[in-house]
Amino acid sequence: MFFMIFLFGFSFTLQAQSSNKLSRSEQKKGWVLLFDGLSTEGWSSLGGQPVSEGWEIIDGNLTAIADGKGGDIITQKEYANFELKLDYRIAPGSNSGIKYFFTKYENGGDLGLEYQILDDKLSEDNKEADHLTGSLYDVLPPLKISKKVNPPGQWNTVRIVSKGNNIQHWLNDFKILEFERNGEKFVNGVAQSKFKTVTPKFGSAKQGHILLQEHGGEISFRNIKIRIL
């Protein structure tokens, strides 16, 4: 029994140590870590203050504690053409998201395009297709046939690719959404969303911060990395 407990703990420690690292191949391709597993360096609150205690680093994971009121956090740098990858794990019933091109609009406040993260089965916000995991929140739904999401308590891998106006959402190595920010599909989706009155037009920012959303439920992130395209 002791041996089994030791083995489980040892394998868990190895897994934590192997996360948040770049391979030589990734380094050659220009990947950069946005989270080193040890600190929140490079991140801040929306007001530019240090990340609050509502976010904790546990076993190499960046975790928003349930009801910890940590608030959303953003990268200190802004990005335009990029490929972003990360792993996330949510608790049952949780709601979160990853926003990109996050910036301040003249009318509408601080906004960004959101890759929605949700417990599709238990969260209260699961009634609309464009509110489910992988959607462009409140604008465009993911392709249901391509979507393979692991349940709460297990890790999922997100990939967001932004090149010019072309945007791709990936989940666990499957492309689940693609659109052009100036395309008909996107424009029509915005016109029917809560962002329809935003000026300048929602999603038109040339660059912006990456945001990790705290929405009351627990969520953990790891292996957060980005490369410029």
Average pLDDT score, the chain: 93
Domains of the chain: 2-228 (2.60.120.560)
pLDDT band at 18 (very low <50, low <70, confident <90, very high): confident
Instruction: Compute the Cα dihedral for 186, 188, 192, 196 and give only its sign.
Output: positive
pLDDT band at 16 (very low <50, low <70, confident <90, very high): low
pLDDT at residue 10 in the model: 44
Residue 13 has pLDDT above 60, yes or no: no
Q: What is the pLDDT of residues 33-75, one digit of tens each?
A: 999 999 999 999 999 999 999 999 999 999 999 999 999 999 9
Residue 173 has pLDDT above 80, yes or no: yes
Q: What is the pLDDT of residues 81-90, one digit of tens each?
A: 999 999 999 9
DSSP 101-131: EEEEETBTEEEEEEEEEE-TTTSTT-SSGGG
Collapsing DSSP to helix, strand or coil, 194 comes out as coil
Residue whose C-alpha is closest to residue 108's, from 203, 181, 190, 199: 199
Nearest-5° angle of CA 115, CA 116, CA 120?
Answer: 150
Rounded to an integer, what distance in angstroms lies between the CA atom of residue 225 and that of residue 75?
A: 12
Terminal Cα-to-Cα distance of the chain (whole angstroms): 50
Residue whose C-alpha is closest to residue 85's, from 6, 179, 155, 184: 155
Q: How long a stretch of residues is the chain?
A: 229
Residue 31 burial (C-beta neighbours within 10 Å; 0-12, 13-18, 19+): middle
Query: Averaged over 166-176, what is the pLDDT?
Result: 98
DSSP 65: P
β-strand 109-118 against 156-163: which pairing, if any?
unpaired
pLDDT band at 17 (very low <50, low <70, confident <90, very high): low
pLDDT at residue 70 in the model: 93
Residue 6 has pLDDT above 90, yes or no: no
Query: Averaged over 86-107, what is the pLDDT?
Result: 97
Q: Where are the alpha helices (DSSP H) in the chain?
A: 2-18, 24-28, 184-191
Q: Are 213 and 72 in contact (CB under 8 A)?
A: yes
- 56's tokens: 């904790």
Q: What is the pLDDT of residues 105-144, one digit of tens each?
A: 999 999 999 999 999 999 999 999 999 999 999 999 999 9
Q: Which of 4-8, 31-35, 144-148, 224-228 has the lowest mean pLDDT?
A: 4-8
Q: Are 43 and 11 in contact (CB under 8 A)?
A: no
